[in-house]
Amino acid sequence: MDKKVRGKTFIVAGPSGVGKGTILKKLFETHDLYYSVSATTRDPREGEVDGVHYHFLSVEEFRAMIAEDALLEHAEYAGNYYGTPKRYVDEAMDAGRDVILEIEMQGARQVCAKRPETIRIFIAPPSWEELERRLVNRGTDAPEKIAQRLRQARVELENAGEYDYMVVNETVEKAAEEVAAILCAEHCRVDGRLEEILKK
Ligand code: 5GP
């Protein structure tokens, strides 16, 4: 009988407002991947559903998860905590599914320190001006929050060299195609593949 091949983990990072969510939504239309639902202490935005977009927690609940070592990584971003519940990621990978972590830079670093085989994809805006325009037009954040996110975005862009791949979000369709191509290429790597074939 075939031995199940373990899934791979892909980090999809990039500044707030760059369009990661929209690109992933497109990708999920054609790919069966496990989207890791993060825990956060920020308030839900309009239309966000608890357990679907995030697990919305109090600071106390979030701290309890840290204490129980239930998070693969966690970080503070724009005044709130965000973290990846570990258990579901491992269950999905054990079941042979690829996992997508839509997380920011500090979290990406923690995951890669613990699991260096993780593949990192950075989503970049076509230009700085375009990112500013998108963040302002999203209309979901107060002006001081937008300014905070833009400062953070500058830091993320300056550190994009840490990632394995960069996808520029010119159009959602093209960006989703490029992410899909990266997933495909990673599954065609020689390392691991040969072992996979010999085990069968
Ligand atoms: P937002 O508040 O716009 O939903 O997310 C803010 C930032 O936090 C985004 O860059 C998003 O990718 C990141 N983020 C979401 N979930 C997590 C998580 O579990 N861990 C970390 N480190 N960052 C996250």
Residue 37 belongs to a domain: yes
Q: According to the per-residue pLDDT averaged within each range, which of 142-146, 153-157, 175-179 is highest?
A: 175-179
The whole-number average pLDDT for the span 181-197 is: 89
Please provide the distance, in angstroms rounded to a whole number, between the alpha carbons at the two ends of the chain. Answer: 7
Residue 4 belongs to a domain: no
Ligand 1 neighbour 169 (Cβ under 6 A): no
What is the identity of the amino acid at 150? L
pTM higher than 0.75 = yes
Between residues 90 and 135, the one the model is more confident about:
90
CB-based contact 168:175 (threshold 8 Å): yes
The residue segments making up the domain with residue 32 are 9-199
Report pLDDT for 1. 45
Residue 65 belongs to a domain: yes
Three-point CA angle 106, 153, 172, nearest 5°: 105
CB-based contact 134:17 (threshold 8 Å): yes
Distance 103 CA to ligand 1 centre (A): 5
Instruction: Ligand 1, residue 108: give the atom nearest the CA.
Output: 22
Total domain count, the chain: 1
